[in-house]
Structure 1
Amino acid sequence: MPKDTIIYIPIEAPKRELTSKTMLATRLAKAGYTTILFEHSFFDRHKWKMPGLYLGKNFFRYEKSKTNKSWYNEMKKSKIDIWYLDEEAGIFPGKDPKSWKIFLDERIDINNLSSKDKILVWGRWQKEHWIEKTNKHEEKNIIITGTPHYDMLQTKYHKYFREFDLNTTGNLENYILINTRFSLVNSHPRLGRKAVEKFYLDAEESFKKFNKEKFSSLIFKEETFLIKNFIELAKYLSENFTDKNIVLRAHPDEGSERYKNELSAHKNIKVISEGGIDSWIRLSDCVIHNGCSTAIQADFAKKKVISYLPSDGGLNFYVTTPGLPNMIGFLAKTNEDVKEAIKNPVYKQSKQKWESTFSEENTIEKIASMVEEFYPEDKTSSMNIFKNLKIKYFMVNIKEFLKDILRPIFKKPKVIFPYEEFYNIMKISSTTSNIYDTKISVNKLARGAIVISPK
Structure 2
Amino acid sequence: KRYRVSGKTLEQCDKCFCWGDVHAQMIREVDPSVDSKLHITGNPRMDLLRPSFRDLVESEAAGLRDQYGRFILLNGNFGSYNHAMGIDYTWKSIESKGWASTPKDKDFHHRRVELQGRFFKAFHSVLPKIATEERKVVVRPHPSESLVPWEELSEAHPGKIIVAREGNVIPWLQASEAVLHNGCTTAVEAFFLDRPVIAFRPEKNLELETELPNHISIQVSTEEDLLALLEKVTEEDSKSREERIEYARKFLVAGDGPFSSERMIDALPEVENHSAGELNSFRYLKDRVYFALRNLAGKLVHRQSSAYLGLKCRKLELSQTREVLQAYSSRVKLREPKVYSIGNVLLCFD
The TM-score range, normalised by the shorter chain, is: 0.7 to 0.9
Q: Any idea what SS the aligned residue of 1:178 has?
A: strand
Contact in 2 for aligned 1:173/1:283 (Cα 8 Å): no
Q: Any idea what SS the aligned residue of 1:228 has?
A: helix
Cα distance change of structure 1 residues 446 and 111 upon mapping to structure 2, 3 Å threshold: closer
Contact in 2 for aligned 1:248/1:269 (Cα 8 Å): yes
The one-letter code sitting in structure 1 at the alignment partner of 2:25 is E
User: Which residue of structure 2 aligns with residue 220 of structure 1?
Assistant: 113
Q: Any idea what SS the aligned residue of 2:349 has?
A: strand
Q: Any idea what SS the aligned residue of 1:299 has?
A: helix
State the shift of 1:169 in Å: 8.6
Supply the distance in 1 between the matched residues of 2:302 and 2:7 (Cα, whole angstroms).
Answer: 38
User: Which residue of structure 2 aligns with residue 152 of structure 1?
Assistant: 48
**Going by fraction, where is strand more abundant, 1 or 2?**
1
Most deviating of 199-208 and 119-128: 199-208
User: Which residue of structure 2 aligns with residue 351 of structure 1?
Assistant: 245
Most deviating of 361-370 and 147-156: 361-370
1:248-300 Cα deviation digits (max 9, x unpaired)? 11011101111111221321221012223223212211100011112222111
User: Which residue of structure 1 aligns with residue 230 of structure 2?
Assistant: 342
1:245 to 2:141 alignment: no
User: Which residue of structure 2 aligns with residue 428 of structure 1?
Assistant: 324
User: Which residue of structure 2 aligns with residue 365 of structure 1?
Assistant: 259
- TM-score after normalising by structure 2: 0.78
User: Which residue of structure 2 aligns with residue 231 of structure 1?
Assistant: 124
Cα distance change of structure 1 residues 336 and 296 upon mapping to structure 2, 3 Å threshold: same
Cα distance change of structure 1 residues 121 and 218 upon mapping to structure 2, 3 Å threshold: same
Instruction: Give the gaps of 5 or more residues in structure 2.
Output: none
The one-letter code sitting in structure 2 at the alignment partner of 1:181 is N
Most deviating of 271-280 and 424-433: 424-433
1:385 to 2:275 alignment: yes
- TM-score after normalising by structure 1: 0.62
Supply the distance in 1 between the matched residues of 2:340 and 2:15 (Cα, whole angstroms).
Answer: 29
Cα distance change of structure 1 residues 415 and 425 upon mapping to structure 2, 3 Å threshold: farther
1:113 to 2:17 alignment: no
Supply the distance in 1 between the matched residues of 2:270 and 2:29 (Cα, whole angstroms).
Answer: 32
1:193 to 2:87 alignment: yes
Contact in 1 for aligned 2:39/2:267 (Cα 8 Å): no
1:206-247 Cα deviation digits (max 9, x unpaired)? 9948xxx812321232122211211122111114xx212311
Supply the distance in 2 between the matched residues of 1:113 and 1:401 (Cα, whole angstroms).
Answer: 28
State the shift of 1:411 in Å: 11
Cα distance change of structure 1 residues 126 and 183 upon mapping to structure 2, 3 Å threshold: closer
Supply the distance in 2 between the matched residues of 1:132 and 1:318 (Cα, whole angstroms).
Answer: 19
Residues 123-202 of structure 1: pairs in structure 2 closer than 5 A: 123-131=20-28, 134=31, 136-137=33-34, 139=36, 141-165=37-61, 172=68, 174-189=70-85, 192-201=86-95, 202=98
Most deviating of 280-289 and 197-206: 197-206
Cα distance change of structure 1 residues 195 and 289 upon mapping to structure 2, 3 Å threshold: same
State the shift of 1:372 in Å: 5.0
State the shift of 1:367 in Å: 3.5
Q: Any idea what SS the aligned residue of 2:338 has?
A: strand
Contact in 1 for aligned 2:292/2:344 (Cα 8 Å): no
Identity of aligned residues (%): 19
State the shift of 1:159 in Å: 0.7
Aligned residues, how many?
Answer: 330
Cα distance change of structure 1 residues 363 and 177 upon mapping to structure 2, 3 Å threshold: farther
Larger RCO: Structure 1 or Structure 2 (Cα < 8 Å, ≥ 6 residues apart)? 1
Supply the distance in 2 between the matched residues of 1:149 and 1:245 (Cα, whole angstroms).
Answer: 28
Instruction: Give the gaps of 5 or more residues in structure 1.
Output: 1-100
Supply the distance in 1 between the matched residues of 2:30 and 2:289 (Cα, whole angstroms).
Answer: 47
User: Which residue of structure 2 aligns with residue 295 of structure 1?
Assistant: 187
Supply the distance in 2 between the matched residues of 1:319 and 1:373 (Cα, whole angstroms).
Answer: 34
State the shift of 1:387 in Å: 1.1
Cα distance change of structure 1 residues 216 and 110 upon mapping to structure 2, 3 Å threshold: closer
Contact in 1 for aligned 2:83/2:144 (Cα 8 Å): yes
Q: Any idea what SS the aligned residue of 1:230 has?
A: helix
User: Which residue of structure 2 aligns with residue 282 of structure 1?
Assistant: 174
The one-letter code sitting in structure 1 at the alignment partner of 2:15 is K
